Amino acid sequence: MSRLGFFFDASACSGCKACQAACKDKNGLEVGVLWRRVYEVQGGAWRNEGGLWRPDVFAYNVSIACNHCELPICRNVCPTAAIEQREDGIVTIDRARCIGCRYCEWACPYGALQFDEPANRMTKCDFCADEIEAGRPPACVAACPMRALDFGDIEELRARHGATAAIFPLPAPDVTKPALVIKPHRDAARAEAEGAEVANWEEI
């Protein structure tokens, strides 16, 4: 059976956060819970060129939800076996079984596990499995006005867009093997090399 994955085009994303809002709306998420988040990366400084100071800055956005990893560390650490992986790769959480220990939140390097304070339990992106089963795209993909997000069979996505699965500030993919393909922004390598920062932690 094919395994599902996300594609994200960092060179196209405008940072409008329509994906984030559509996800929140579709899933009725509590305040502070974001299954999909848009990180605003920024860096650079003024540069002196022959006595003339010029701005030499860059910025791009990274939209990330759960990457439904091939080696889901959240599933491996969950003490109650509340987190499982379906045959199509979607990592689900049985909310009735979650004890709210938040161990998965410590472990996930993508911040995909989100704690629902009123319900005292963890929640996460379920890839809009109900939409997919109805033949429709996930809410985040459907909402993106720039067509920067896509989904599909992960091997087809890799064949079409390449195997890049990391971009600053995401971790190296070897730990969890995310079902994710990224088209990097032109300044992604520079962000990694120059120590860029995420500028909108307050929003995430």
| Interface positions with another protein (CB under 8 A) | 37, 39, 64, 73, 75-82, 97-103, 106-111, 115, 119-121, 168-172, 175-176, 195, 197-198, 201, 204
Order of strands across the sheet that contains 149-153:
149-153, 4-9, 180-183
Q: Which residue has the tokens 């910025």?
A: 59
| Closest separation in Å from C-beta 109 to another protein | 3
Taking phi over 0 as left and psi of -120 to 50 as alpha, with beta for the rest, 105 belongs to alpha
Rounded-to-integer distance, Cα 192 and Cα 30, Å = 33
- Under 8 Å between Cβ of 175 and 73: yes
Q: In terms of CB distance, is 58 or 103 closer to another protein? A: 103
| Closest separation in Å from C-beta 126 to another protein | 19
Q: In terms of CB distance, is 92 or 176 closer to another protein? A: 176
Q: In terms of CB distance, is 155 or 203 closer to another protein? A: 203
- Under 8 Å between Cβ of 73 and 85: no
| Closest separation in Å from C-beta 108 to another protein | 7
Q: Please give the radius of gyration of the chain, using alpha carbons only, rounded to the nearest integer.
A: 18
Q: In terms of CB distance, is 77 or 142 closer to another protein? A: 77
| Closest separation in Å from C-beta 119 to another protein | 8
